Amino acid sequence: MSFHPMTFSLILACALTGISPVLAQTEPPPRENFNPFGVDNPVLQRARNWARQAAERANGGLSRYRAEASMFGPASQSPYVDNGDGTFTFRFLGGAPAEPPTIESIVTVNPDPSNPMIRIDYNGPIQLAAPPPQPLPEVPPPSNMGSF
């Protein structure tokens, strides 16, 4: 049996450098980590993207407006409510690029391609909910106060 010089050199190089063939994984991943949607739910992801894009258009485009970071990462981590009827409502902040947010957007989306719907429910200044009134603590008068 004769070896071609190139084949012999390749075998010798592998033996000297310790390179060994890579073995394929033979067992499937555990079922408890199984996600039928892969990385993220594609329906929720479509809804989230449509909501963000609607706010971008309503606020002058990407050169004038950026939504908060949660509207870009995994859709399951975005600020949404599943309305139970196939629609999702997103409530998020945004504003001028690289500036603190100044705009709050509330957008309801039906991501079903056969019946798509995007409705901007609110797009304006951030609505701050007033905290409930707190009773003022009683403060005793200073001890150095004389009588009147």
pLDDT at 33: 45
Question: For residues 73 and 78, what is the distance between their CA atoms, to the nearest angstrom?
Answer: 8
CA dist 79 → 9, 13, 92, 106, 130 (Å): 59, 55, 7, 10, 21
Band (pLDDT 50/70/90 cuts) for residue 40 is confident
pLDDT at 34 > cutoff 50: no
Question: For residues 111 and 118, what is the distance between their CA atoms, to the nearest angstrom?
Answer: 8
Band (pLDDT 50/70/90 cuts) for residue 128 is confident
User: If you search the block for the tokens 């949660």, which residue do you land on?
Assistant: 70
pLDDT at 133: 58
Looking at residue 110, the DSSP 8-state letter turns out to be E
